[in-house]
Amino acid sequence: MNDTARSNLLWATLLVEECRRCGVTDFFVAPGSRSTPMVAALAANDRVKVHVHYDERGTAFAALGYARATGRPAAWVTTSGTAVANGLPAVVEAGTDNVPMVLLSADRPPELRQTGANQTVHQPGIFGCYVRWGFDVPAPDPHSDPASLLTLVDNAVHRARRAPSGPVHLNLMFREPLIPEPEENRGIKLPQHLSRWKSGDAPYTTYPKPETAPPETAEITERISPAERGVVVAGRLGSREEAEAAGELARRLGWPLFADVGSQARFGGEPENLVWNHDLVLLDKGFARRNRPEAVLQLGGGPVSKRLGRFIGESRPETHVVVREGPDRLDPAHIVTHRVESDVAVFCGRVMDGAGKRGGGGWLSGWLGAAGRVERTLHRVEKENGEELAEPFVARAVMRDMPSGSGLVVASSMPVRDVDSYAGLRADAEYIPVAANRGASGIDGTVATAAGFALGSGRAVTVLIGDLALLHDLNSLAMLRGLPVTFVVVNNDGGGIFSMLPVARHETFFERFFGTPHGLGFKDAARMFGLDYARPRTISEFRDAYSERSGSSGPGLIEVVTEREKSAALRQEISARVRVGIEEQP
């Protein structure tokens, strides 16, 4: 057997097995030649799950979605060249939003780099500052100690999972011949000093999760405890545990809780202090001006609502605390007084231990009263809208009718804003996990993210997505075979969000460069990729189609055709009526 081929297979086998022992059990793979040793090792290991798709960008986003669902990293396996560059959008999102991933890219050996060799690009450092750590792994040879690879994998997975979690990159050089011929492949032989590792099931080097001392919160507790006019902002949070801690802390302080769509605190077991429609409440500038907080406690990532960010910035609270794992600034208005690097649940527990319990009083009841009036206004407008398919009310219907035990993936642009602004509280109290790629807020990779989220969560998943986001990732529909994923596609023939921006007033060039009408429908795409399809004409037909589809064990697509201009006008009407409704007497 060729020594190079044998060494390649040995190292790839050890790499896959050590990833598994470190908890990386799912591998998302796109086909390619240089990564053949890793593919051969994956095929031979029946204790890992391998998900194959032909587009590297799609597999990278699927790995991202899997990690969003589980909190554990998946591995992304790719060949060399531009295939590696296709992972960058997902890596940017993961690096920005602290999502763990293990990136395994195959590469040419040193003697072929910068020589014009085919499919050879500069891969070390290709992901820039968006990875937590990277290593350019030398090509295997018979004289290399395999234990060095095991310790490398152990360290890489640890770095992906420790706070702040994120992607790590192992760039793996392989020489040809890549693997032994079938008749020569008689298994691999480990050196004697790895016999104990082979006989066990633990990683070569175990990295317990770092036990960071809880942050000192005495000063913060001292500042926020006396404050009556305070708010808790639950931004993007990674777990139900953190969401529950945020809700309990808001209740203990007697403050309103503003829960972002990605906070895991919006849908299911809603806290009694929850002002779910804070974005609409803040439409009334007079109310916002009279109710400026003196203290703000922001937990997790930044919220979707631009209006909320502007409200806090204009309030300039005396105490503004931001709590999130990792050291990055979350302070676009430059008003944060305390930046705490901590697990959110740990921080909340420490503050609750030191803070006294009190009722909310008039401050809290004022916010809850305004929220109730907003909801009544929305209900009236929805009733007056009748059977017309309108984007805000499609979002409300999805959240109202979503089956218990489901999950939601919501695309950037208008879908995530519609859910954040208009989706009301659910009748049941069962938790609905929500995934949204809001680290960098791109529309790319949403379909693949949903596939990975469904695989990781084991739930039926609804995806609320716009037409451009679906077109952007259309080939990832091939990843949905056998998955209970229902796509609700709002097709307004272009970029709906731009109709809400000032540039929409520039009629001479708006439609061509921003509206970007495409004139396409998705019936044939659904048929091509084997998805059930429906195109309802009324809101009742939509609810019937969604109820039927969301109970299916396979994938489906519901196309909701709307008009951009009418949708923009309806949102403006809702805003105008909400402003008036907030000031109504209860």
In a domain, 213, yes or no: no
In a domain, 376, yes or no: no
| Contact present, 342 and 319 (Cβ < 8 Å) | no
Are 118 and 195 in the same domain?
A: yes
**Straight-line distance from the first to the last Cα atom of the chain, in angstroms, rounded to the nearest whole number:** 83
- Nearest in space to 459 (alpha carbons), one of 397, 400, 408: 408
Mean pLDDT per 10-residue run, the chain (586 residues)? 88 97 98 97 97 98 98 98 98 97 97 92 97 97 93 98 96 96 77 91 93 78 91 95 95 95 88 92 94 97 96 96 93 95 93 75 94 94 94 95 95 95 85 95 96 97 97 97 97 80 79 84 97 97 95 94 92 92 60
Structure tokens at 399: 């959240």
Are 575 and 448 in the same domain?
A: yes
- Domain endpoint, select from 367, 396, 423: 367
Instruction: Please report, for residues 166, 234, 565, the alpha-carbon distance to residue 254 in angstroms, rounded to integers and kept in the order given.
Output: 35, 15, 42
Cis peptide before 164 (omega within 30 of 0): yes
Are 448 and 567 in the same domain?
A: yes
Length of the chain: 586
In a domain, 381, yes or no: no
Are 431 and 337 in the same domain?
A: no
Structure tokens at 526: 């659904």
Q: Can you give the residue range of the structural domain that contains 458?
A: 387-582
| Contact present, 32 and 54 (Cβ < 8 Å) | no
CA–CA separation, 489 vs 485, rounded Å? Answer: 12
Are 560 and 490 in the same domain?
A: yes
In a domain, 204, yes or no: no
CA–CA separation, 424 vs 277, rounded Å? Answer: 8
CA–CA separation, 536 vs 119, rounded Å? Answer: 47
Quick one: pLDDT at residue 184?
78
- Nearest in space to 276 (alpha carbons), one of 404, 371, 149: 371
Could you tell me how far CA 163 lies from the centroid of its own chain?
A: 17
Are 130 and 233 in the same domain?
A: no
Could you tell me how far CA 109 lies from the centroid of its own chain?
A: 35
In a domain, 545, yes or no: yes
3-state class (DSSP) for residue 74: coil
Are 166 and 253 in the same domain?
A: no
Quick one: pLDDT at residue 191?
85
- Domain endpoint, select from 199, 228, 250: 199
CA–CA separation, 431 vs 266, rounded Å? Answer: 9
| Contact present, 24 and 100 (Cβ < 8 Å) | no
Are 347 and 391 in the same domain?
A: no
Pairing verdict, β 556-561 and 485-491 = parallel
Number of domains in the chain: 3
Q: What is the CATH number for 404?
A: 3.40.50.970
DSSP 331: -
In a domain, 500, yes or no: yes
In a domain, 405, yes or no: yes
Q: How much helix, strand and coil, in percent to the nearest 5, is found in the chain?
A: 45, 15, 40
472 C-beta neighbours (distance < 10 Å), count: 18
Which residues are CB-contacts of 467 (< 8 A; sequence separation ≥ 6)? 489, 490, 491, 492, 493, 494, 518, 520, 522
Quick one: pLDDT at residue 117?
92
| Contact present, 112 and 80 (Cβ < 8 Å) | no
Are 44 and 145 in the same domain?
A: yes
In a domain, 195, yes or no: yes
CA–CA separation, 538 vs 386, rounded Å? Answer: 9
Are 455 and 531 in the same domain?
A: yes
Q: What is the CATH number for 362?
A: 3.40.50.1220
CA–CA separation, 33 vs 413, rounded Å? Answer: 37
Alpha helix positions (H), 45-161: 56-70, 82-85, 88-97, 146-161
DSSP secondary structure letters along 17-31? HHHHHTT--EEEE--
Quick one: pLDDT at residue 359?
63
- Domain endpoint, select from 167, 199, 231: 199
Are 36 and 120 in the same domain?
A: yes
Q: Is 194 exposed, middle or buried (CB count within 10 Å of its CB: 0-12, 13-18, 19+)?
A: middle
Are 155 and 235 in the same domain?
A: no
DSSP secondary structure letters along 276-294? TTHHHHTT-HHHHHHT--S
Instruction: Please report, for residues 59, 194, 446, 454, the alpha-carbon distance to residue 476 in angstroms, rounded to integers and kept in the order given.
Output: 9, 41, 9, 13
